[in-house]
Amino acid sequence: MKQQVTRPGRWLALAVLVLAVLLVAVDATVLGLATPFLSEDLQPSGNQLLWIGDAYSFVLAGLLVSMGSLGDRIGRKRILLIGATAFGAISVLNAYANSAEVMILARALLGVAGATLMPATLALIRNLFHDPRERSLAIGIWGAAASAGMAIGPIVGGVLLENFWWGSVFLINLPVMAVLVVVGARLLPESRNPEPGPWDLVSVVLSMVGMVGIVYAIKEFAAHGFGWVPVAAAVAGAIALYGFVRRQRRLPIPLLDLSLFRSRGFSSAVLADLLTILGLSGLIFFLSQYLQLVQGLRPIEAGLAELPAAIGSIVAGLLAGQVARRFSVRVVVAGGLAAIGLALAALTTIGADTGYPLLGTALLVVGAGAGFSFTVTADVILAAVPKEEAGAASAVSETAYELGAALGIALLGSIVTGVYRTFTGPAGTPEAAHESLGGAVEAAAKLPPQTAAALLDAARESFAHGVSIAAGVGAVVLLATAVAAWFLLRGQRLGTER
């Protein structure tokens, strides 16, 4: 054990894991920047645009637990390298998608590959760093890398979009993937559960059907109201999840050890992550569109405008472990969530002509709050489980994150879309202009100048109004989560080695 605690090269190995995090974070952020260009080229409907945004998260959420458990069984290094290779290859399919349907499929396949990456990186950190303080710092660096990817993605993506076609933003995954695979094969140590048991395919299917069915149903209810198809999806998803839970309780070595949720710290941290991302993601998904299509910023300018969020998150993530040990877990988590909620509340005043000082300050506070909260909850989750189950525990954490993202885009995104569609344009406004703001911009290009200007003013104001309402809903969710975290994380402290 002592040899593992002082493992030479563990910080270099962490650098390789950081590349995997960058791979995922950059991909997530460049999609938002590319959306206006993608909309012009592929001409997706408003519903298809939402699917392009959340198909990745739906599949990812459905497979994270299964892939985390698979990594515990076959080796976390192995599944990380396989997943990184697949992620790079499927990025090419994203780059050259020639229709909205192909793009949705490509995003879904990318979700399959992405499901192998994040749980493996956290699980490997759990097994590389046995000293609690070192592990807290490593998790902070891991989280800071994700935030750095959020910052780098829009800036690099903006440069690419101003010089190349929108598909180039996905091709930047290839060099990162190549370095990760080549260097990771040499530096990363292999780790797995020494007594893993079989990988139960029935549980895998039940998990996937359950998660996708439930999330799809919520998305459809939010977008279109009651309907037999989403009801059927909800019922099928609920039945599958019920079957999954029952099967895990009966299996001698389950795919997911449900006893993990008996830990108040573990279950509270997972719930906090889910609700936090739910409150944030709908706004984040539409932010790049707001900056480009409402405020008229170039892609590189929009990327730089989002930089304060990443800076706040990086700084807070690196300090989070130290601050949580000086004060307490619940002070840092609840305080971070309250800060995000207040920043979102400030954004309820957003309009088509809102100045950048308000937006930049709010983004800085959001980033700092998220950096503190997510870093500490990740540490709590990893410290609550034995090393052998680190992959499954990490997968639960990431599932909460991705499920929250999918639900946030579905619910808050549907609010933005629903409010946007109600705008009243001038006579002659085509129906396509009500599908998405990108559609309105494209339609305006074919209208007389005076009519086009009136259409764009109405569409932009309506879109900004939708974003402000989504920010208000997100603020309520975040402030309520902060209150819940204050009570649920009472007495919780960053863990010791298990």
Q: What is the pLDDT along the chain (498 residues), one digit of tens a residue?
A: 344 445 667 788 888 888 777 777 777 666 766 777 777 778 777 777 777 877 877 787 778 778 877 887 888 888 888 988 898 888 888 888 888 888 888 888 988 888 888 777 877 887 777 777 787 788 888 877 776 776 676 677 777 777 787 888 788 778 888 888 888 888 777 777 666 677 788 888 898 888 888 877 876 776 666 788 888 988 999 999 999 999 988 888 887 778 878 878 888 888 888 888 888 776 666 777 788 788 888 777 877 888 888 888 888 888 888 888 888 888 999 999 999 999 999 988 888 788 889 989 998 998 889 888 888 888 888 777 776 666 667 777 777 776 777 677 777 877 887 788 878 777 777 777 777 777 787 777 777 888 888 888 888 888 888 888 888 888 998 999 999 989 888 877 765 444
Q: What is the pLDDT of residue 337?
A: 93
As a whole number of angstroms, the distance between CA 124 and CA 191 comes to 7
Q: CB under 8 Å to 491, separation ≥6 — which residues?
A: none
Give the separation between CA 263 and CA 489, rounded to whole angstroms.
11
Give me the pLDDT at residue 365, please. 92
Quickly tell me which residue has 């999609």 as its tokens. Answer: 31
Reading the block at residue 382, the tokens are 């990893």
CA 126 – CA 384 distance, rounded (Å): 11
CB contact at 8 A, 158 and 303: yes
Contacts of 1 (CB under 8 A, 6+ apart): 130
Provide the pLDDT for residue 236.
93
CA 367 vs. chain centroid, Å, equals: 14
What would the two tokens of residue 12 be?
A: 């270099």
Neighbours of 177 (CB within 10 A): 23
Single out the residue of 446, 468, 460 nearest to residue 40, CA to CA.
446
> In this structure, what token pair is assigned to residue 129?
């760093």
Beta strands in 85-184 (DSSP E): none
Backbone phi and psi for residue 223, each to the nearest 5 degrees, phi listed first: -85, -40
Q: Cα-atom radius of gyration of the chain, to the nearest Å?
A: 22
- Say if residue 186 is exposed, middle or buried (CB neighbours under 10 Å; 0-12, 13-18, 19+): exposed
The CA–CA distances, whole Å, from 309 to 107, 143, 366, 449 equal 25, 13, 6, 37
- Predicted model pTM: 0.76
Q: What is the pLDDT of residue 498?
A: 43
Give me the residue label for tokens 């995104």: 413
**Predicted local confidence at residue 1, as pLDDT:** 39
With 0-12 / 13-18 / 19 or more C-beta atoms within 10 angstroms meaning exposed / middle / buried, residue 322 is middle
Q: For 395, how many CA atoms within 13 A lie in the half-sphere containing its CB?
A: 28
> How many Å from the N-terminal Cα to the C-terminal Cα in the chain?
11
Which tokens sit at 194? 């020494």
> Which pLDDT score, from 0 to 100, does residue 439 have?
76
**Sign of the dihedral through C-alpha 235, 238, 241, 242:** negative
d(C-alpha 261, C-alpha 137), whole Å? 25
The label of the residue with tokens 């039945």 reads 239
The DSSP secondary structure of 196-212, one letter per residue, reads -----HHHHHHHHHHHH
